[in-house]
């Protein structure tokens, strides 16, 4: 139940908000400890790979990345010899079990036969060579994560023996939370409380050995609603591991967290433990809000809001903002587009009986056009939306996602009970900052 926005003259992205496929592939590789990566590209692409490693907070001394540094002459004449020499040098220098040899836009333009080169070189190097095609023409960061995850399937060994009460956690980095590993840690602690063991996190701080044993898990949990569905489907087909909790929003806000935990408890038959966990969490949130935020509901009631985020955060926020803060979602702008998450969104809006305008796979231009098409009092999103809002006269903006106006030193979950408080704290501070006297142009307001 939503009114999907359509944009004219948008065959090509004008202001992309997310990176290219290379960044997505690199963000998968960055989560595996005992591998290296060689990118066949100009040197600028190495900064894209560095950004992906930054998103995992991988120490600089532990990054094993090589780049062929292609020049114009290489792109015109080809650079197979350059790539061959770098692979051999990286093999001797990095000494890893596996080396991902990644083609980029430049390699696609040249038509470089990376797979053929890897096959011919395999007998000459110690590392197992894995060719990956990640040129920007192949999609955005979300597509790149799916490409990278697909390459990991070959490292998982088939096993008929399943370990009871174990899960794999898939694609935790597929989230707009700047410290997404805090959400992962919340989930791990909740699973531990319920007596459920994490088999493998794919891919975060794992070894190839960890990846090999992923087939022994009894279920998969996808911690993103933007990526990973294809990978999980393959896991179910090849290793008989079901994907659970895949038809409801992720645990953001009180109701979503309780619903998500109850579904988890039902699957693993630990309902009583789940109710105890829910009571502890809800009591904690209520206690803190009663002591520190008594005016929170009157402040936000009937505030018309636009949500601009990824599906992972954006869909879960709808219920929290509407039912728990009594805001009115008028516009939902999601950065990705896939059929699985659109079904979850449609179901959620029908349950809540609201009919906002919705757009999928948005870029900066589309966000601005969408915000101009509706009346809203506020936006929850990133610094991008804050400045667009100022341009078109929207005073209130909540800079929760990918913030550039604040430093983040402490890991903050957005999922679970503490996660709700973390979101509310940012909303509260940004609200108060917007209404401070020095932020208001009194002369303009009283013309």
Domain count, the chain: 3
Q: Provide CB contacts within 8 A for 403, sequence distance 6+.
A: 178, 382, 383
- Residue 150 included in any domain: no
**Mind listing the pLDDT tens digit for each residue in 247-304?**
999 999 999 999 999 999 999 999 999 999 999 999 999 999 999 987 777 889 999 9
Q: Are residues 294 and 408 in the same domain?
A: yes
Domain that holds residue 297: 290-443
Q: Are residues 297 and 419 in the same domain?
A: yes
**Mind listing the pLDDT tens digit for each residue in 180-216?**
999 999 999 999 999 999 999 999 999 999 999 999 9
Higher-scoring residue by pLDDT: 78, 36:
36
Q: Are residues 226 and 107 in the same domain?
A: no
CB 51, CB 65: distance < 8 Å:
no
Q: What is the mean pLDDT of residues 350-375?
A: 96
pLDDT for res 379: 98
pLDDT for res 15: 80
**Mind listing the pLDDT tens digit for each residue in 207-240?**
999 999 999 999 999 999 999 999 999 999 999 9
- Residue 119 included in any domain: yes
pLDDT for res 435: 81
Q: Are residues 97 and 228 in the same domain?
A: no
- Residue 3 included in any domain: no
92 pLDDT band (50/70/90 cuts)? very high
Handedness of CA 248, 251, 256, 259 (dihedral sign): positive
Q: Are residues 204 and 82 in the same domain?
A: no
- Residue 402 included in any domain: yes
- Residue 131 included in any domain: yes
pLDDT for res 291: 92
Range of weakest confidence among 44-53, 225-234, 288-297, 421-430 = 288-297
Q: Are residues 312 and 406 in the same domain?
A: yes
pLDDT at 131 over 90: yes
- Residue 389 included in any domain: yes
Q: What is the mean pLDDT of residues 28-48?
A: 96
The domain spanning residue 377 has which CATH number? 3.40.50.1980
Averaged pLDDT of the chain: 94
Q: What is the mean pLDDT of residues 110-130?
A: 96
pTM of the model: 0.94
Q: Are residues 119 and 213 in the same domain?
A: no
Q: What is the mean pLDDT of residues 346-367?
A: 96
Handedness of CA 159, 229, 49, 200 (dihedral sign): negative
Q: Which of 184, 217, 248 is the last residue of a domain?
A: 248
CB 14, CB 363: distance < 8 Å:
yes
419 pLDDT band (50/70/90 cuts)? very high
Beta-bridge partner residues of 32: 206
12 pLDDT band (50/70/90 cuts)? low
Range of weakest confidence among 3-17, 42-56, 303-317 = 3-17
Q: Count how many Cα atoms sit within 13 Å of the Cα of residue 78 in the half-sphere of its side chain.
A: 8
Q: Are residues 316 and 432 in the same domain?
A: yes
Q: Are residues 132 and 32 in the same domain?
A: yes
pLDDT for res 446: 57
Q: Which of 248, 279, 298 is the last residue of a domain?
A: 248
**Mind listing the pLDDT tens digit for each residue in 299-324?**
899 999 999 999 999 999 999 999 99
Q: Which of 191, 224, 248 is the last residue of a domain?
A: 248
pLDDT at 362 over 90: yes
Q: Are residues 131 and 234 in the same domain?
A: no
Q: What is the mean pLDDT of residues 159-171?
A: 96
- Residue 10 included in any domain: no
Q: Are residues 231 and 363 in the same domain?
A: no
- Residue 259 included in any domain: no
Query: For residue 299, how far is the Cα from the chain centroid?
Result: 30
Q: Are residues 223 and 334 in the same domain?
A: no
pLDDT for res 295: 77
Instruction: Give the separation between CA 138 and CA 171, rounded to whole angstroms.
Output: 20
Q: What is the mean pLDDT of residues 30-55?
A: 95
3-state secondary structure the chain: CCEECCCCCCCCCCCCCCCEHHHHHHHHHCCECCEEEEEECCCCHHHHHHHHHHHCCCCHHHCCEEECCCCHHHHHHCCHHHHHHHHHHHHHHHCCCEEEEEECHHHHHHCCCHHHHHHHHHHHCCCEEEEEECCHHHCEHHHHHHHHHHHHHHHCCCCCCCCCCEEEEECCCCCCCCCHHHHHHHHHHHHHHCCCEEEEEECCCECHHHHHHHHHCCEEEECCCCCCHHHHHHHHHHHCCCEECCCCCCCECHHHHHHHHHHHHHHHCCHHHHHHHHHHHHHHHHHHHHHHCCCHHHHHCCCEEEEEECHHHHHHHHHHHHHHCCCEEEEEEECCCCHHHHHHHHHHHHHHCCCCEEEECCCHHHHHHHHHHCCCCEEEECHHHHHHHHHHCCCEEEECCCCCCCCCCCCCCCCHHHHHHHHHHHHHHHHHHHCCHHHCCHHHHCC
Beta-bridge partner residues of 65: 37
404 pLDDT band (50/70/90 cuts)? confident
Percent of the chain with pLDDT over 70: 96
């Amino acid at each position: 139940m939503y009114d999907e926005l359509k944009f004219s003259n948008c065959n090509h992205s004008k202001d992309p908000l997310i990176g290219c496929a290379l960044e997505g592939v690199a963000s998968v590789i960055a989560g595996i400890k005992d591998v290296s990566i060689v990118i066949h590209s100009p040197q600028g692409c190495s900064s894209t790979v560095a950004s992906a490693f930054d998103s995992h907070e991988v120490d600089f001394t532990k990054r094993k990345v090589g780049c062929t540094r292609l020049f114009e002459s290489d792109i015109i004449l080809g650079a197979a010899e350059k790539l061959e020499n770098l692979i051999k040098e990286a093999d001797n220098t990095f000494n890893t079990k596996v080396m991902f040899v990644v083609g980029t836009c430049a390699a696609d333009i040249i038509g470089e036969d990376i797979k053929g080169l890897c096959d011919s070189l395999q007998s000459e190097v110690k590392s197992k060579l894995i060719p990956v095609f990640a040129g920007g023409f192949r999609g955005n960061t979300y597509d790149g994560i799916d490409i990278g995850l697909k390459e990991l399937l070959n490292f998982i060994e088939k096993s008929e023996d399943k370990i009871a009460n174990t899960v794999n956690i898939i694609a935790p980095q597929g989230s707009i939370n700047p410290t997404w590993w805090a959400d992962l840690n919340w989930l791990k602690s909740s699973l531990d409380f319920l007596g459920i063991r994490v088999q493998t996190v794919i891919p975060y701080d794992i070894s190839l050995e960890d990846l090999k044993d992923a087939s022994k898990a009894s279920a998969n949990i996808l911690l993103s609603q933007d990526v990973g569905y294809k990978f999980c489907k393959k896991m179910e087909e090849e290793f008989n591991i079901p994907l659970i909790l895949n038809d409801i929003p992720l645990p953001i806000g009180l109701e979503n967290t309780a619903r998500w935990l109850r579904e988890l408890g039902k699957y693993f038959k630990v309902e009583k433990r789940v109710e105890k966990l829910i009571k502890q969490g809800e009591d904690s949130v209520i206690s803190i809000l009663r002591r520190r935020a008594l005016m929170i509901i009157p402040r936000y009631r009937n505030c018309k809001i636009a949500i601009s985020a990824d599906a992972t955060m954006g869909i879960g926020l709808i219920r929290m903002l509407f039912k728990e803060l009594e805001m009115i979602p008028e516009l939902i702008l999601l950065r990705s587009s896939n059929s699985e998450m659109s079904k979850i969104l449609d179901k959620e809006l029908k349950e809540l009986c609201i009919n906002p305008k919705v757009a999928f796979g948005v870029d900066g231009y589309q966000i601005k056009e969408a915000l101009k098409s509706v009346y809203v009092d506020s936006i929850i999103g990133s610094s991008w939306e804050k400045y667009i809002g100022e341009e078109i006269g929207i005073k209130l903006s909540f800079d929760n996602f990918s913030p550039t106006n604040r430093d983040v030193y402490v890991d903050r979950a957005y999922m679970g009970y503490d996660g709700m408080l973390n979101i509310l704290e940012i909303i509260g501070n940004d609200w108060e900052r917007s209404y401070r006297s020095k932020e208001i142009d009194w002369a303009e307001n009283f013309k």
